[in-house]
Amino acid sequence: MVDEQLRKRGIGDERVLAAMLEIPREEFVPIESRVLSYADDPVPIGFGQTISQPYMTALMAQSLALKGTETILDVGAGSGYGAAVLGVLGARVISIELVPALAQFAMRNLQRTGRAGNVTVMVGDGSIGYADAAPYDAITVGAGAPETPAGLIGQLRDSGRLVIPVGTRKDQSLMIITKKKGATDSRAVTQCRFVPLRGAEGWR
């Protein structure tokens, strides 16, 4: 996976590659789908949600430019895989999930694999973030939004980065949004296709 899907497609951050090697992806996929764990595709995890394609997980993590000291908000815990990768790369991860059963699934996966030490899974509307632990050095959103939620920008620390898919329900651009002195700068990284971001600042 790392050699064929990541290195050859431009993932060059060695910390990200090491994290992807370290986290056992099969432990975050439903048992009936484990044969697909390392496929170059998203994998269904129930409730209309997916675990993202490995390349997209790595690209989003690389786009955050993490050094190891950051507090990170992960919107859309899903199975907990992305949060586990971020937990290797940052100091603290708050992962928020709208579906209670998926939040429980993520927490069980993180605990079973010994990755829960610096990762907390919360149940809630990730489209509005989690103000109690803000500001964040980095925010990643694992679902496509109609526009960048103002609440997430407000919870981003100055000089922080937000990585989010923005577009229609079916197709989005993966955006890197950097905050500096209260203003934001945005650039598109690639085209992508995520499940819709649900919530007050997502798709209703």
Residues serving a catalytic function are 52
Alpha-carbon span 14 to 34, nearest angstrom: 26
The Cα–Cα gap between 190 and 44 comes to 22
Which residues, in sequence order, are bridge partners of residue 6? none
Phi, psi of 150 (to 5 degrees): -60, -35
Distance of CA 166 to the CA centre of its chain: 14
Radius of gyration of the chain (CA): 15
**Burial status of residue 181 (CB atoms within 10 A of its CB: 0-12, 13-18, 19 or more):** exposed
CA distance 164 to 143: 8
Phi, psi of 135 (to 5 degrees): -85, 160
Please give the Cα distance from 166 to 146 (Å, whole number): 6
